[in-house]
Structure 1
């Protein structure tokens, strides 16, 4: 066990900790949550109460949370009981959401099993479910008391899911870590080969960047919104495509559009924007989408990150230089068509 960092998120103590694989499950777990893909990754005692969910974004709906809550009641869990969720961002989001609701908040410990969950989704307290195809429309802020990380698990992660996580890594580097961005540029082959030493650096650096922003701003009133770089565009693409575009691929595509908007507004230098887009392409991401721009714009209107009824767009003006802008819909449509 090695503590990466202890945080306080809006009064909630939370910490990210490295564990060996055999020690991942907390001894006092009262209810275990996983999906049919991740349940076999975690050793657990016979007879432990468990909920095994349908994998994927399509299953991130109220019925899944209801299953967790009903079993918690059936098992007689108390407020100090531990619900442990092991999985990718979908599982960790729903587990923590259920924990925030049960008795107005019970103990939650998360074991992220995907790169995306390790570097982003499991840390920081955003929990929730989708409403149909609209992402994370129903949820709460409820940080897990501990996020248990084991990079060894990533060795068997499907390539598509690994690249989902790399999309969030790229985002985090642009937002807040020049050294991480240089590592991604200079050691692409090692990153794609899942070199253990490189992965350990990536995960640690991403956790430190995100943790610092969330400590400052749990409820996303200010700088935490930077973590949504690429997401307003990307979530809309996911919705319009009915999740044919995965989250990480959607975020990288969205960052491409955010760069385009930033250049058009005179915020980002074209040469730097082109350099970032080439980096995305070098990692195998798509920056063109066949979906209807008008449909994507309409889907954006359902984005929950509004202020006074207006959408906020997170735009990169340069490395570690992020701006929040309110953009005219006609301007956004032109960016989508570009």
Structure 2
């Protein structure tokens, strides 16, 4: 058939803000001093979003109680709680990966709509990666784009999830299948929040620290590899140092490649394997960090398999991961009993990898390394992937 063509030229879609201001705070968390140090009649309305775990922290009580009314014993801090403070709203969602759903995102939007929020409202996520991802996603779709601020409360969200504007939620058992690029206008980092983290969540965040070190800081990687006891000593000066190193490294990458067209893909080291593990184990059954650490070990083995790196690199990486207590064997214990054989498990993991949103063809794309700080992005044959599973 014959046709005539007319094109319409558009400027790039604005991602909500043209810059992000990251503030580092010393001392104990005090959200009242951050958000209510001065009452301004013309200040924008805020839609605060957190989860039951964060809202229950002792450090959060002075802030949360202002939204609970005069009778602090009622209502309870539970999934679905909505409180008000003047024109501001606090929504408390359930905690953890099982709540990272489109229904939770829509609950955030509904809380904003029910409070007659304008497009000028500031959606403020206070929590780990689940909350920061969903709050920013809700901001990006509310009236086609509100403003977003984030207060990461976990190590993982401080060094990775809250930085760089990736937003979204899980869908149909697959990680982060729905989302947008929508950076926060401000990110408030309060390192002392990590003192209250359960050990498994702290260790989960440490996996992203090790990943970033492998990519961009050999010096930090060597410090971490020589000091696995940092898992038991969160007040070690290295903790705040590593947070700032990771934030600066990711910021430098995101400034060059916000929408993951090239170098930002490097940040997915270990994630193709890790996301497949999370999917097949059942979302929430294995922490994101534990899955990524296992994925980094598999990526190292795959790098060796296709001739990119030496055995020494593989052993250096796996030794560091093992010293932190992460699994490095081909079959993760979270898959025990789920499949009839290891071959069946490997095939199922590979099928999950083929749905990874970062793939550009029918082949699976991996982030691999030649050495610490020397990273390669490449597609790999199925047989080679299966051989390291």
Distance apart, 1:16 and its partner CA = 1.6
Distance apart, 1:39 and its partner CA = 1.5
Name the structure 2 match of 1:158: 198
- Counterpart among 18, 21, 30 of residue 22 in structure 1: 30
CA distance in 1 between partners of 2:90 and 2:16 (Å): 30
Name the structure 2 match of 1:304: 357
Is there any run of 5+ residues in structure 1 with no aligned partner, and where?
1-7
- Counterpart among 287, 305, 310 of residue 246 in structure 1: 287
CA distance in 2 between partners of 1:238 and 1:192 (Å): 26
Change (3 A) 1:310 1:253: same
CA contact (8 A) 2:15 2:181 kept: no
CA distance in 2 between partners of 1:11 and 1:35 (Å): 25
CA contact (8 A) 1:10 1:215 kept: no
Q: Which segment drifts farther, 44-53 or 117-126? A: 44-53
CA contact (8 A) 2:47 2:123 kept: yes
CA distance in 1 between partners of 2:216 and 2:147 (Å): 30
CA contact (8 A) 1:61 1:132 kept: no
CA distance in 2 between partners of 1:163 and 1:15 (Å): 27
CA contact (8 A) 1:191 1:198 kept: no
1:306 match: secondary structure: coil
Name the structure 2 match of 1:257: 298
CA distance in 1 between partners of 2:179 and 2:224 (Å): 33
Distance apart, 1:195 and its partner CA = 2.1
- May I ask how many residue pairs the two structures share in their alignment? 329
- Counterpart among 340, 346, 355 of residue 293 in structure 1: 346
What CA deviation, in whole Å up to 9, does each residue of 1:310-332 have, x standing for no partner?
32100011011010010111221
- Counterpart among 120, 143, 168 of residue 128 in structure 1: 168
CA distance in 1 between partners of 2:166 and 2:326 (Å): 26
Name the structure 2 match of 1:5: none
CA distance in 2 between partners of 1:71 and 1:10 (Å): 20
Name the structure 2 match of 1:3: none
Structure 2 residue 55 is the aligned partner of structure 1 residue 39: yes
CA contact (8 A) 1:312 1:325 kept: yes
1:181 match: secondary structure: helix
CA contact (8 A) 1:281 1:287 kept: yes
1:137 match: secondary structure: strand
Distance apart, 1:11 and its partner CA = 6.4
Structure 2 residue 225 is the aligned partner of structure 1 residue 172: no
What CA deviation, in whole Å up to 9, does each residue of 1:125-160 have, x standing for no partner?
000000121000000000001111111111110000
For the pair shown, the structure with the greater C-alpha radius of gyration is 2
What CA deviation, in whole Å up to 9, does each residue of 1:200-248 have, x standing for no partner?
1010000011111111101111010000000000000011000322110
CA distance in 2 between partners of 1:87 and 1:276 (Å): 30
Structure 2 residue 235 is the aligned partner of structure 1 residue 219: no
Change (3 A) 1:84 1:268: same
Distance apart, 1:306 and its partner CA = 1.0
- Counterpart among 91, 111, 116 of residue 76 in structure 1: 116
CA contact (8 A) 1:9 1:214 kept: no
CA distance in 1 between partners of 2:125 and 2:249 (Å): 23
Distance apart, 1:308 and its partner CA = 2.9
Query: RMSD across aligned C-alpha pairs, in angstroms?
Result: 1.8
Distance apart, 1:196 and its partner CA = 4.6
Is there any run of 5+ residues in structure 2 with no aligned partner, and where?
1-13, 37-42, 68-83, 336-344
Distance apart, 1:190 and its partner CA = 3.3
2:206 match: secondary structure: helix
TM-score by length of 2: 0.81
What CA deviation, in whole Å up to 9, does each residue of 1:243-271 have, x standing for no partner?
32211010010011100010111111111
CA distance in 1 between partners of 2:102 and 2:308 (Å): 41
- Counterpart among 128, 131, 137 of residue 97 in structure 1: 137
CA distance in 1 between partners of 2:314 and 2:15 (Å): 33
Map residues 260-279 of structure 1 onto 2, 5 A cutoff: 260-279=301-320
